[in-house]
Amino acid sequence: MSQQPPVRSTGSPPPRPDASMSLLNNVIDHALDDGYAEASARRAAEGGGLPRTLRAKLGLAAGLVLAAIVVTLGAAQTQVSAPVVAKEREELIDRIQAETSAADGLEKKIEELRGEVGRRQREALEQHGGDSSGLVSLLSGATEVEGPGVKLVVDDAEDTEEGGGGPRESTGFSDTGRVRDRDMQRIVNGLWQSGAEAIAINGQRLTALSAIRAAGDAILVDNKPLVPPYTVLAVGDGKRLSTTFQDSADGRYLHALKENFGIRSSISDQEQVRLPAAASLIVRTAQPRTAGTGAGQGTADTGKGTS
């Protein structure tokens, strides 16, 4: 009896043991996506076979050449326009110098005219003041004054910038030890009352019409700012004027400022002080002379004091 061959099954093959891991197998078998591979092949074909580093070097060289062209064109344009700019600058400098010279000339002319006006006013005071011409010239500040007197120096407290000095209760606001316009007013009026014949502050001559005011922290005399320390020169009997002022109410006021708020002051009698004439004289009123007044005589309304 012959042996029959085994019968083969025609069904589907048995599943692989790793059939349940098909996604992981796909990732392993196809590490590079087909789309990326196709794009890489296309770029290689379009690049004509040139290496990437060579293309980068060529691009860099092209950029450098373009930059060199731009710089060269800019330098050439600057070199072409340089003479024009230099010429315009020289013309502008010439114009500035010309205008400055013109302004200096006008300022000099103004000073000459002021001097001429002051000279004519002083001559008028001397000619028509009669017996009181010297007093009128003195009180109006029309002439320079020279003689014995006192020198009074007033300055802010040392710690002014640091806010020291404390409050002045009488004023109702905080004071930092600065000299105020009202302080200078009291000092000047005290000197007038003590017998001063003429007074100047930092070279600014005071007259019967002078005003001491403030603009912020600055002190103005006839609208001209003064800078501390304030040097007050007064013509009069030096020793007597100094003693009388220090014993007066205004002298004690200055001493109180020194003791309570640190404001510095010193006074000394001088054998000789010289005060300049007032910068300008203003004629406010004029009155014609009458026969009863007397030849060469007139009247003048003057008064001491600074407000």
Burial class (CB in 10 A: 0-12, 13-18, 19+), 9: exposed
Cis peptide before 229 (omega within 30 of 0): yes
The pair of three-digit structure tokens given for residue 127, joined into one six-digit string: 């000619």
Give the start-to-end residue ranges of the domains of the chain.
145-275
Residues whose CB falls within 8 Å of the CB of residue 194, separated by 6 or more in sequence, listed in order:
236, 241, 244, 245, 248, 251
Split at pLDDT 50, 70, 90, the class of 176 is low
Picking from 210, 200, 169, the residue whose alpha carbon sits closest to that of residue 304 is 210
pLDDT score recorded for residue 277: 81
Task: State the average pLDDT over residues 228-256.
Answer: 92
CATH architecture of residue range(s) 145-275: 2-Layer Sandwich (3.30)
pLDDT score recorded for residue 10: 52
How many Cβ atoms are within 10 Å of 168's Cβ, its own excluded?
Answer: 16
CA–CA gap between residue 269 and residue 51 (Å, rounded): 101
174: pLDDT strictly greater than 50: no
Tell me the one-letter amino acid at 217.
D
81: pLDDT strictly greater than 50: yes
Picking from 163, 170, 171, 176, the residue whose alpha carbon sits closest to that of residue 261 is 176
On whether the CB atoms of residues 128 and 288 are closer than 8 A, the answer is no
CA–CA gap between residue 35 and residue 42 (Å, rounded): 11
Q: 276 versus 285: which is more confidently predicted?
A: 276
Split at pLDDT 50, 70, 90, the class of 244 is very high
